[in-house]
Amino acid sequence: MKATRQILITTILTLFAFGSVVYTSCKNKCGSTTCQNGGTCTDNICVCPTGYSGNACQTGWSDASIGTYNCTRSNCIPAVIGATTWISAVTKDATNGGYTIDISNFDNSNTTIVGTIDSAISGTNRITISPAVGSYGINATGTFTATSNTINLHFTTASATGGVGYTCYMTLVKQ
């Protein structure tokens, strides 16, 4: 009778242990990795939402670009009078910290503009800036290269009357 009871208890404990292992492995398909920033686990891989990358979706596309920059404006048509160098800051935009940035003091104007960063292709991210609200509307395209900590933009502004203001190139080098 004692032997039967011992076998029964051993069998129940073995089944419990096996069931716990199976339950845990089904519950956490990404092993010890927890998908962040809204990522979901599919086939043991975190599938990241737009704007994030990394094995746990921990890195925002904009993360490497955040910082303070020395800026230079050049090749403006028509020529722009005023300082051609200044300081700007790049921060995560509140609407989506993964792939949108704010560039303060854009073109030395005390204006903050919002840019969108696309995922890196060979270490270089594409940046797009759409028209801002108001008379200083800006369209820009360019790149951010993490290895050189540099943003290169080609931009066009709108005049106060809605026409084209000027077109320039701008280089931002992280301090």
Domain residue limits, the chain:
2-59, 61-174
Q: Pick the residue with more confidence: 23 or 70?
A: 70
Q: Terminus-to-terminus CA distance in the chain, angstroms? A: 80
pLDDT attached to residue 27: 41
Question: In this prediction, what percent of the chain has a pLDDT beyond 90?
Answer: 35
pLDDT: which is higher, 52 or 173: 173
70 or 4: which carries more pLDDT confidence?
70
CATH number of 2-59, picked from 3.30.470.20, 2.10.25.10, 3.40.640.10, 2.40.10.10: 2.10.25.10
Q: Does residue 25 register a pLDDT over 60?
A: no
pTM for the whole structure: 0.72
Whether 101 shows a pLDDT value over 80: the answer reads: yes
Per cent of the chain over pLDDT 70 is 74
Out of 18-22, 51-55, 83-87, 160-164, which region has the weakest mean confidence (pLDDT)? 18-22
Per-residue pLDDT of 112-134, as tens digits, reads 888 888 876 666 788 888 765 55
Burial of 118 (0-12, 13-18, 19+ CB in 10 A): middle
Residue 46: per-residue pLDDT? 93
Using the predicted structure, report yes or no on whether residue 8 has a pLDDT greater than 80: no
Give me the pLDDT at residue 21, please: 43
CATH of 61-174, one of 2.40.128, 3.30.70, 1.20.120, 3.40.390: 2.40.128
DSSP string, 33-87: ----TT-EEETTEEEPPTTEESTTS-EETTGGG-EEEEEEEEEEES---S-SEEE
